[in-house]
Amino acid sequence: MKEHNMQVQHRYLSSVHGSGHSGHFTDTIWRQFVMSPAKSYVLFSFIVVLLLGALVSTRLLDSAALDGGANRVVTDRKSLTFDPRITKKPRNKIEYPLNCTAAGSHTHTKSCPGTYPTSYAPEEDNDATSPSTCPEYFRWIHEDLRPWARTGITREMVERARKTANFRLVIVKGKAYVETYTKAFQSRDTFTLWGILQLLRRYPGRIPDLDLMFDCVDWPVVLRNAYCAPDAPAPPPLFRYCANDQTYDIVFPDWSFWGWPEVNIKSWEPQLKDLEEGNGRIKWSDREPYAYWKGNPTVAPTRQDLMKCNVSEGQEWNARVFAQDWIKEQQEGYKQSDLASQCRDRFKIYIEGSAWSVSEKYILACDSVTLIVTPKYYDFYTRGLMPLHHYWPINDHDKCRSIKFAVDWGNSHKKKVTNRIIV
Ligand SMILES: *[C@@H]1O[C@H](CO)[C@@H](O)[C@H](O)[C@H]1NC(C)=O
Ligand SMILES: *[C@@H]1O[C@H](CO)[C@@H](O)[C@H](O)[C@H]1NC(C)=O
């Protein structure tokens, strides 16, 4: 599996380079790369907004993910989406399929045609021609970059982020160069880079030169406390998948949007299609009147606490929770972990694992009411979720009673819930 992924990555890399040469950068690249702090700050904002935009354009959140997921309780369908008038227009999405061939059977090198566009033609791109408003959660990037708003970002700051980074990504003139410091867990880094390469392909000529450090480990590490003294240095800008209120890590979409083969999860678009199909199998009012959760309870005490809310002979908390055994699943072909068949109950619980959990988007995409156990971490879109609009909040310190109350209320106010109105 790993080898295959690496091959895919290499294919993308070599096509971006236009030839099969190595993805490692050299010092000469750095020399072209010194820029003023203010400029680099602007570029950072720009690239992050573009990346988020690219995700949205691949239908991350525009029609079915967040509002579709929580649409039982959505009153304001626009708050996390583009203007619905735009999303209704027929799409003529620009796609650049890869058409690469092996250079020789004895090597791993692949070569891809050098005929991909090098400039971006918005007039051919229906996703981009319509005037659109950025989703509300885009504003958080300003928050995430605030620590550098006055100082800008210098190369020295970037290099201080190397300590924990898995890789450094440099984009110069539309080509991506990567230096891997430490191989990430499973294929996280490969799929993150794959997303970046698709971005380059999607917006040829539009991605500014940049230089960033990326850490693929779950937990944020840039502690705010260490940078609050008047004479403290600026924090290192470090990208990762989640952060919390005690840290300055900059959040970036997680690898699973582009695929997670180790647990049989597809990239977002086909995965979303599966979930939509799963949603269509049973209409909401015919579903089990419980709150469903399935996952690995051993990764966090709060999840073990949730297990206590399972139905038992003595107690009915309206929760149906199941422990996932990934090793068994792997051996049995993921029959019991198919996400689309997990939209079987009226309510679905999201609870964090050792940090944020990638499961949140799949849970929201199920057409059930999402019950979110108060989270400690955020990722790039979750700060845009509004309680009682997109989800029902569950008290972390009193989970069972809080779940029971939410489920009882939803079941006895079906009309209000199915009318997508809570109060
Ligand atoms: C891929 O390349 C081959 C050989 O150049 C060509 O015959 C084929 O039509 C191409 N396929 C696509 C989808 O462009
Ligand atoms: C919760 O209860 C159901 C039904 O009795 C059972 O199948 C399931 O294994 C239980 N979950 C856990 C984590 O024990």
The pTM of this model reads: 0.76
Q: Which residue has the tokens 């809570």?
A: 422
Assess if residue 67 is contained within a domain: no
What pLDDT score does 88 carry? 39
Please provide residue 239's backbone torsions phi and psi, each rounded to the nearest 5 degrees. Answer: -90, 140
**CA 378, 384, 385: angle at the middle one, nearest 5?**
85
The larger pLDDT score, comparing residue 74 to residue 292, is at 292
**Structural domain that includes position 358:** 265-418
Q: How many CB atoms lie within 10 A of CB 314?
A: 5
Q: What is the pLDDT of residue 418?
A: 56
Query: What are the backbone angles phi and psi of residue 55, rounded to the nearest 5°?
Result: -65, -45
Using one digit for the tens of pLDDT, what is the confidence trace for 286-336?
999 999 999 999 999 999 999 999 999 899 999 999 998 888 888 887 777
**Angle CA(22)–CA(3)–CA(241) in degrees, nearest 5?**
80
Q: What is the mean pLDDT of residues 235-255?
A: 98
Residue 11 has φ and ψ, to the nearest 5°, of -60, -45
Retrieve residue 12's tokens.
Answer: 């993308």
- C-alpha 132/C-alpha 135 separation (Å) is 9
> Of the candidates 326, 245, 300, 291, which has an alpha carbon nearest to the alpha carbon of residue 402?
291
Dihedral of CA atoms 409, 410, 414, 419 in degrees, nearest 10, equals: 120
330 close to ligand 1 (CB < 6 Angstrom)? no
CA 48, 221, 397, 323 dihedral sign is positive
Q: Is the pLDDT of residue 204 over 70?
A: yes
Residue 347 three-state SS = strand
- Structurally, how many domains does the chain consist of? 2
Average pLDDT taken over every residue of the chain: 78
Helix 188-202 × helix 37-57 angle, to 10°: 90
Instruction: Looking at the structure, tell me whether residues 221 and 274 fall in a common domain.
Output: no
Pick the last residue of a domain from 215, 230, 252.
Answer: 252
Residues 162 and 307 in one domain: no
> 142 pLDDT exceeds 90?
yes
pLDDT at 382: 96
Selected residue with higher pLDDT from 382 and 122 = 382
Q: What is the pLDDT of residue 319?
A: 97
Q: Which residue among 206, 227, 252 closes a domain?
A: 252
Does residue 113's CB lie within 6 angstroms of at least one atom of ligand 1? no
Distance 267 CA to ligand 1 centre (A): 24
Residue 68 is assigned to a structural domain of this protein? no
- Residue 14 CA, ligand 1 centroid: distance in Å: 18
372 inside domain: yes
Residue 189 Cα to ligand 1 midpoint, Å, equals 29
- Rounded-to-integer distance, Cα 288 and Cα 269, Å: 27
Answer yes or no: is the C-beta of 99 below 6 A from any ligand 1 atom: yes
d(C-alpha 122, C-alpha 145), whole Å: 28
User: Is the CB of residue 247 less than 8 Å from the CB of residue 255?
Assistant: no
Same domain, 146 and 187: yes
The C-alpha atoms of residue 286 and residue 73 are separated, in whole angstroms, by 17
Q: Which pLDDT value is given to residue 405?
A: 97
Residue that is last in its domain, among 252, 277, 299: 252
- Spatial distance between the Cα atoms of 60 and 362, rounded to a whole number of angstroms: 11
7 or 141, which is more confident?
A: 141
- Looking up residue 292, the CATH number of its domain turns out to be 3.40.50
Q: Which atom of ligand 2 lies nearest, measured to the CA of 307? A: 13
Say how far apart CA 364 and CA 64 lie, in whole Å: 9
> Above pLDDT 70, what percent of the chain?
70
Which of 15, 95, 96, 99 has the most ligand 1 atoms within 8 A of CB, as the residue to mutate?
A: 99
Q: Which residue has the higher pLDDT, 146 or 341?
A: 146
- DSSP result, 91-128: P---------EES-TTSS-EE--S-S-SS--GGG-HHH
Residue 407: pLDDT over 70: yes
| The pLDDT value given to residue 18 | 31
Minimum CA distance residue for ligand 1 atom 12: 99
Residues 21-34: what's their mean pLDDT? 32
Q: Are residues 232 and 294 in the same domain?
A: no
Percent of the chain with pLDDT over 90: 54
Specify the higher pLDDT residue, 335 or 33: 335
Q: Kindly state if the Cβ of 307 falls inside 6 Å of ligand 2.
A: yes
Tens of pLDDT along 39-57?
444 445 555 555 555 444 4
| Whether residue 107 is found in the same domain as residue 231 | yes
For residue 270, is pLDDT > 90?
A: yes
| Residue 162 pLDDT | 98
Tell me what the mean pLDDT of segment 258-268 comes to: 93
- Asked if residue 258 is part of any domain, the answer here is no
- Over the stretch 59-70, which tens digit does the pLDDT of each residue have? 333 333 333 333
Residue 82 domain-assigned (yes or no): no
The sign of the CA dihedral 379, 385, 386, 387 is negative
Same domain, 212 and 304: no
Per-residue confidence (pLDDT) for residue 331, from 0 to 100:
82
Helix or strand run (H / E) with residue 349: strand 345-350
Confidence (pLDDT) at 369: 93
Say if residue 156 is in the same domain as residue 290. Answer: no
Whether 165 and 97 share a structural domain: yes
Q: In this structure, are 25 and 105 located in the same domain? A: yes
Residues 339 and 204 in one domain: no
Q: Which token pair is 3?
A: 């080898």
- Asked if the structure places residue 81 within a domain, the reply is no
* Overall average pLDDT of the 128-139 stretch: 74
Given a contact cutoff of 8 angstroms between Cβ atoms, the answer to whether 289 and 282 are in contact is no
In a domain, 78, yes or no: no
- Domain assignment present for residue 77? The answer is no
- Same domain for 104 and 191, yes or no, is yes
Find out whether the beta carbon of 285 lies less than 6 Å from any atom of ligand 1. no
Class of residue 423 by CB neighbours under 10 A (exposed 0-12, middle 13-18, buried 19+): exposed
Residue 402 pLDDT class (50, 70, 90 cuts): very high
pLDDT tens sequence across 344-361 = 899 999 999 999 999 999
Please indicate whether residue 309, judged by its CB atom, sits closer than 6 Å to ligand 2. no
How confident is the model at residue 12, as a pLDDT?
33
User: What pLDDT score does 423 carry?
Assistant: 41
Does any ligand 2 atom lie closer than 6 A to the CB of residue 310? yes
Phi, psi for residue 320 in degrees, rounded to 5: -125, 100
Residues 335 and 242 in one domain: no
